[in-house]
Structure 1
Amino acid sequence: MMRISELTVRFGSFTAVDDVTLAVPPGTVTGLVGESGSGKSTLARAVAGLTPYRGSVSGVARGRVQMVFQDPYSSLNPRMRVGDAIAEGSPASRGRRDAEVARLLGLVSLPASYARRLPRELSGGQRQRVAIARALAAEPELLIADEITSALDVSVQGAVLNLIRDLRAELGLTMLFISHNLAVVRYVCDAIAVMRHGRLLETGPVQEVLAAPAHPYTRTLLDAVPSLAHA
């Protein structure tokens, strides 16, 4: 069980994340939702060890949290070939590297031949698949996906979400899935955690929270998505 306990992030006098406590059971996907500026991405960066914080994160080893970022165009080194980018974080020996890269590319439904390509030769959706493969190469105990479809064309968003669902089922991934889109969260996640102004307002099984939200802010988010509000 990955547990976030009383986690607080401050930037000077500004409190970005305020005393958040949250548990993510193994093999499940928890959706972290809220409007822009709610603190959800800052919380994720703290859990990943990218931002200093007060409080504790337990149940996951240091270095075993991997993050997939929103923009696939800036998250990959433009001068590094796909295979090298994926292999960089893998514990596989040099002799097994090519086979491991091919296996990881297969997991994200890309041909092994893509290992020789540069990021500029790929589409946005393909780059995001490479970013996911690179994160999986490190064999993470927790995978954080931070708005991973919001920078993609609508035509490929669904394919990436289906990939996440397939990987979760195949690998038993434990994930923290950040999104402002409640329809996406309902499709991908088991549980939901709602944030606003750095504070956690409501948590619970995704179907229960979306069917009967306990906090008015959650209802506001839900009302902004008619297909969910009337489902």
Structure 2
Amino acid sequence: MFAETLSGMPLRTIRRSPRATVRLLCFPPAGAGPSIFNEWANLLPEFVELVGVVYPGRECRSAEPLSRDLGIIADSVAEHIARSDDMPCAFFGHSMGGYVCFEVMQRLAGSTAYPDHVFLSAVPAPHMPVPEKLHGLPDSQFFRELVRLEGFPQEVLNTPELVRYALPILRADFTACETHRFKLHVPCRCPLSVYGGSTDIRVTRDRLEGWRHFAGLSFSLRIFEGGHFYLRKRQTELVGLICSELARMG
């Protein structure tokens, strides 16, 4: 069982349910923490326990230094997940969260904590070249690119203090993703569902289709109307699709 809130812990229980038979672990995108999934708690049925992944330097781990190493982030998360295999689990990862999710899967290969279903959202297959690396851009240009990618909710853009707070976190996260070397020899040992936005300018359909290369079992792809953060407006539909798959696991 994961702590509800504990400093230094990479996992936080967002919604606990006494009737839970399935655990959904959600990996947030760059710059975000597990609170981005808080609204999901109201959309999930009682048989699902919702757990969020916390990266260093945000939310309950805000006192820790930021990490620019995706492998180190995944090591810590995998270590804690491996300690709890009391019920079937599934992973959902959006954008950077998809990469962390993939790396955690690699580390859990052969473990009883390996997920029973994986959902990847708005993240290109790791063997495909990155269109343009952003982490080394000057602050002003880096900010413009993030705005172009819809990386900031409007309420953040309207608050300069929040933008200044978020930029170093986003740069660290982009560095972690864009400098990581993936080991691609372990296929997914569970069903793989991939989602994306129809107008996402960086994660196009062919980059999502690339995940088929890693699907050891079944593979499905669903494109939603919207950009890189299509899930902000299509949240109810997305969670509904995920729940229909989770119902097969309980």
TM-score by length of 2: 0.31
Q: Select the structure that is richer in strand.
A: 1
TM-score for the superposition, normalised by structure 1: 0.32
Structure label with greater radius of gyration: 1
